[in-house]
Chain A
């Protein structure tokens, strides 16, 4: 038994404590790293979380958030019991009720909505606050049986995913433990490894010690950017122009890999034509990056064994799918796809879809063909609703759907594992939509922005109090999550909530009361998967290669209509004939829908481009209320360029109002040179009630390729090929010093 030095928080330095057990578990947050964890438990209480040294990628290291986990789990402000709204929605006044009373109320309302409007008036709101898949899929089973609308899509990265997928097929990642050993050049694009992927850093440092050259592309000088050998800082939303110029430079100077292009790509002539207008000077005018730097990056990337590690920042603008199209084509013309140490990583989708599935290009909505048996769980045998054509609600236009959906309108939302108000854009409009609901339930750990507007608030169980499985979308190691402690207070594991709701809505058959978490996990894992037999163990297992190859595309087989890497995307051209949207088959640059160039009318009033970083010490709005995090972060701030600050007569520490037509917030000025003049930055995840949420100012822009209109759909939706991503970062604001 390991000893840890810990004492109850009111007694300092009282000596070593012997714990009862140390359990292995895994962090299920929306983070690339998906760390192995050690949980120290004594007397049924979680004392401490440390990194698990046995994890081959995360190696026992942990970020600040993971390290402080126990303080969050044991936080005094955890919601302890169910609450019912007293007074008007949004007043934040609640009374305590029992779980029975809560369920009765919810079931009554759901049945009412079903009767009056139809089951499709009900929808969940879920994202990735706890990204594990098991409870999410069981919830889907419940919602399927109820006949609710189905929530699809994302607002985070699917525009870019479509750009990558249309180029070289379904996306899988080559592990960093492999590429970092062989890459001569590492190009990190739109990715703040230093905050969102910290465990990648030792691999990158080793590569650099070995002589690898680091290029970083970001509108913001992130910490990883300060370590780069070459840093390109384009105007937010203009990467595409720079990448097109890089490709023209490469073609003009014969730096492309002609053999690779002729053997494995399709459409190079159209691409060469498309980039022909993008001289270095033209790109420099658009992006603000000096021409010689664009040329240097192109030359170094093209002429070496180069690995491109794509994040998702560059595609969080309207037209983000074309931005990723450009980057993926750049990798392709240089022959840097499918090679050990030289490929283009975007995302690993093996949990949803394995490479062995050669899907029909325009197939219908089949939930999953990945290594998790998602379909078996959300469409169980004997369920009457298998393949029922439910209406789809696209989460990237959720606000619009709330306000505009018809036949039926949305009348009931159960919100869990996501910040509906805090992480969607245009808070004012979202609140309008919420006001129209007959039922708004929020399952939460703390009284957040969402709970303020709920009718029923339910105490959610924490990560360490539930079952789950959370495959990383970056590395290839997976672990089971088992409860390390009992749910605190009256909280209920998410799985238990949805099963209970399912039973109370009349579907006991599909939610057996005595079914254990272990049994649910067994339903969810493929029978030939190593963890299936070891549901009781705490092993860290590499996903079998048939689900995610060691070197994706080493066989040079690409899941595209032509079977080749499509520089001219036949796939986009074809899908564009069926659905509205932006389907240009060759990458091209367009100003974002809210930029100084596209909206001179707005720019006159709101002359600053606001982007939004992932805060290093939080996952968006998670951890915002943890005091140990607050004392490091300080009060919510805005980064303002030094020259701008001088013009506005704003000093470091001044309170500043930031505003546009959508609203206003108040934050502390941080004067810096890490962003260019004309750009400012407010962290994502600041709680709305702190008055500092940048989402108040952001517009409801849904990036492509598919136009999702009011967010409702009745036809096929394909998460790999339709998009979407919300254009969070194309946002014009004005600032003013407060007195």
Chain B
């Protein structure tokens, strides 16, 4: 039932790199300083003449076909049928970190007990219909949780609202035409990347 599998979606337009998700995960899962089940990566780059900066919270993607699962020598990693959450059993794990070497995203962490640990999508909450701590804490409301189908519909709705919003902006008043004109360019930009004003150096 892969289409029922749960995921976290991050709207990277909304993410501002505040790291509240990192803190929430630590507190919810009682992790001391050290392992980071979620980490926010800041990216700064010049794309042509445009300066771009964005933030990418990365936990575990609970892949449909996890690279970590087949390489585990003790079969400690499993993927739940009902929601697709990829879990590691501390009892079976020997801490060899082969899973880490297989994962393209750096998700597995080495815990203080010498065993692997990683984001478990707050299974203790989400199995009962709850939401992961990172998602509920995010002050920017940049993180969304649900099945991949639900997330897909959500992003489609968000995009559609934006592309018709130009003419529905606020009060019809003097200048709404120019606001519309000014905002026009934005509807063509996919909001998941960012643009900053022209960076000229003094």
Residues of A within 8 A of B (CB): 4-7, 9, 12-13, 16, 33, 48-51, 58, 60-65, 67-68, 70-71, 181-185, 194-195, 198-199, 201-202, 205, 209-213, 221, 223-233, 235, 288-290, 293, 299-300, 302-305, 341, 616-617, 627-628, 630-632, 641, 643, 672-674, 676-679
Contacts and interface: CB of A to CB of B under 8 A. Distances in A.
Given A184-B176, A229-B182, A632-B22, A673 B51 contact: yes
A180 B88 CA distance: 44
A624 to B, nearest CB: 14
B22 A198 contact: no
B56 to A, nearest CB: 13
A201 B11 CA distance: 13
A341 B170 contact: yes
A482 B198 CA distance: 49
A730 B29 CA distance: 44
Contact of B198 (A202, A209, A223, A290): A290
Nearest to B176: A184
Contact of A210 (B20, B51, B52, B165): B165
Contacts of A182: 170-171
A643 B27 CA distance: 40
B179 A6 contact: no
A51 to B, nearest CB: 7
Interface in B151-183: 158, 161-162, 165-171, 173-176, 178-180, 182-183
B16 A229 contact: no
Nearest to A62: B137
Contacts of A184: 169-171, 173, 175-176, 179
Contacts of B179: 184-185, 211-213, 300, 303-305
Interface string B49-73: 0011111000000000000000000
Q: Closest 3 interchain pairs by CB? A: A231-B197, A288-B202, A211-B169
B18 interface: yes
A61 B16 contact: no
B30 A7 contact: yes
Given A198-B140, A199-B139, A304-B179, 20 more contacts: A5-B124, A5-B125, A6-B30, A13-B29, A13-B90, A61-B141, A62-B137, A63-B23, A211-B170, A226-B52, A228-B196, A293-B198, A302-B175, A303-B178, A303-B179, A305-B170, A305-B173, A305-B175, A627-B33, A673-B51
Nearest to A13: B90
Contacts, number: 220
21 contacts: A12-B111, A12-B117, A13-B30, A51-B137, A58-B139, A61-B139, A61-B141, A198-B20, A198-B139, A201-B16, A201-B140, A210-B161, A211-B166, A213-B183, A221-B51, A223-B16, A229-B186, A235-B202, A289-B200, A305-B176, A341-B171
A643 to B, nearest CB: 7
B24 interface: yes
Contacts of A212: 169-170, 179, 183
Contact of A62 (B55, B139, B167, B195): B139
Given A67-B20, A221-B51, A632-B22, A12 B112 contact: yes
Contacts of B137: 50-51, 61-62, 67
B24 A67 contact: yes
B197 A293 contact: yes
B28 interface: yes
B136 interface: yes
Contacts of B138: 61
Given A63-B18, A205-B141, A227-B13, A628 B23 contact: yes
Interface in B103-126: 111-113, 117, 124-125
Contacts of A65: 23
A290 B19 contact: no
Given A209-B158, A674-B53, A62 B44 contact: no
B167 to A, nearest CB: 8
A209 B157 CA distance: 11
Given A62-B139, A305-B175, A341-B170, A67 B27 contact: yes
Nearest to A181: B170
B6 interface: no
